[in-house]
Amino acid sequence: MNDLTELARAGRLADVRSGLEELGVRGVVDELRRCDAVTRAVAFRSLSKGFALEVFEDLEPAVQRELLDGLREEATAELVAGLDPDDRAVLLDELPAKVATRLLSGLSPQEREMTTVLLGWPVDSVGRRMTPEVVAVPVTLTVGQALQHVTERAEEAETIYTLPVVDAGRTVVGVVSLRRLLVSDAATPLTEVMSEPIVVEAGTDQEEAAVKVRDHGLVAIPVVDAEQRLLGLFTVDDAMRVLVREESEDLARTGASEPLQRPYLTTSILGLVRSRIAWLLVLLVAAALTVTVLGYFEATLEQVVVLALFVPLLIGTGGNAGAQAATTVVRAMALGDVRFADLPRVVGREVVTGASLGATLALVGFVPATVIAGPQIAAVLTLTMVVVCTLATAAGSLTPMLARRLGVDPAVVSAPFITTFVDTTGLIVYFLIAGAVLGL
């Protein structure tokens, strides 16, 4: 809808509503994410109640917060009350404390209690993302009794496709799918159709729990406390949202920027500046170290000025090689392919890879470098290329694994550290090799 803004500002709400509802929930979400705050509020108010709630649930928390600011108080309370408890907890995190408290107090006692329980878990834990609205099936039932039990309570649950099986103390002893119940004989004991439970403790990091859901191909995973008592379910749709957000954050930080908390077109210029300035300051310090190294070898440069021509090429190639290694290792860590115990193997593989890459680049570049600067300078460049690529890939593999071990997000430290390390050590290696080969 290219004319959404014009229609909204003209007050043609009927046209806005009909146009948006033709797009479906996903289409409307995409349109609202691109609008300014005023147009978004006007367009959202034009939607029917049920459709508006579906759209609201799919918006980012930051956009939800901004949208609530443009709605009447009673409409805001109604929207918040209509959310699932886990989605409501995420939204309340985004709101000022006074507003969150007011909205909580307006909920029914049952909804308020469920939301408060979720808010009691750490922000990045799976306990914050689980749904407490779950149907648990007693282990003593037969298949037929279990189906009756589910039917009577289905309206209370967010999902019934994965059913935890619990004992008298609510300890999870198994899991059964609704499909398995439907195709099994009604007289069969539940113990014969349930499978071994795959569970996750509520304090577990949400990304780790999401990876578990993905790797096991689960529709939902039971969330338990330290005694394995059922607390809720972590569903696949929430798991995918977590993985998408974490991947976006890693991608942004790998590129030396903080992730945006809202769609790009609705992020202010000041917000874009804030997301990048800290990293640029860090990289500025790295550049200052590079200048210091160049100053230290100023005498060498004065004797062989042509060496300065190849400085950007060497540190740029080294930085790229280090970034490639870091990205590969961070991705492997995210997929669970490598652990800290694999550190020697990973670094060893990357050292060999770096040396091979450096040697390949050296062979390719030796003849052009000889034509441009002579055989001695070409020898300096090719030797340096091998060493720099080896050091860069070693640093690119070592840094993220050590960061994870220290409890730091690998993507946060990889980019600035590798840039600093490669720029500084690469120049030192370059001038030391030049001194040895050229006799300076």
Per the structure block, which two tokens stand in for 393?
Answer: 């890939």
Each residue's pLDDT expressed in tens, for the chain with a length of 440 residues: 446 666 666 666 666 677 777 778 888 788 777 777 777 777 777 777 778 788 888 888 778 887 777 676 667 777 788 888 888 888 787 777 777 887 888 788 888 888 888 888 888 899 999 999 899 999 999 999 999 999 998 888 888 899 999 999 999 999 999 999 999 999 999 999 999 999 999 999 998 899 899 989 999 999 999 899 999 999 998 898 888 877 776 666 666 666 666 666 667 778 777 766 776 777 677 667 666 766 767 666 666 677 777 888 888 888 888 888 888 888 788 777 888 888 999 999 999 999 999 999 999 988 988 888 888 888 988 999 999 999 999 988 888 888 888 877 776 666 667 777 787 888 888 888 888 888 76
Distance in angstroms (rounded) separating the CA atoms of residues 323 and 127:
34
The secondary structure of the chain in percent helix, strand, coil, rounded to multiples of 5, reads: 70, 10, 20
Token pair in block for residue 97: 């404390």
Nearest 10 degrees: Cα torsion 272, 123, 409, 201: -150
pTM: 0.66
Q: Which residues pair with 105 in a beta bridge?
A: none
- In CATH, the number for domain 268-438 is 1.10.357.20
Alpha-carbon dihedral sign for residues 72, 75, 79, 81: positive
439: left (phi over 0), alpha (psi -120 to 50) or beta: left
Which residue, among 380, 191, 385, has the nearest Cα to 304 in the 3D structure?
Answer: 380
Distance CA 430, CA 37 (A): 54
Query: 201 - beta bridge partners?
Result: 224
Superfamily name with CATH number, domain 4-128:
MgtE N-terminal domain-like (1.25.60.10)
The domain ranges of the chain are 4-128, 137-235, 268-438
Structure-token pair, residue 182: 């439907």
Residue 96 is encoded by which pair of tokens? 């000022």
Give the tokens for residue 120: 């009691």
DSSP H/E element including 232: strand 230-235
Give the domain 137-235 fold: CBS-domain (3.10.580)
Distances (CA, A) of 311 to 195, 306, 368, 426: 62, 10, 16, 9
Residue 19 · residue 7 · CB < 8 Å: yes
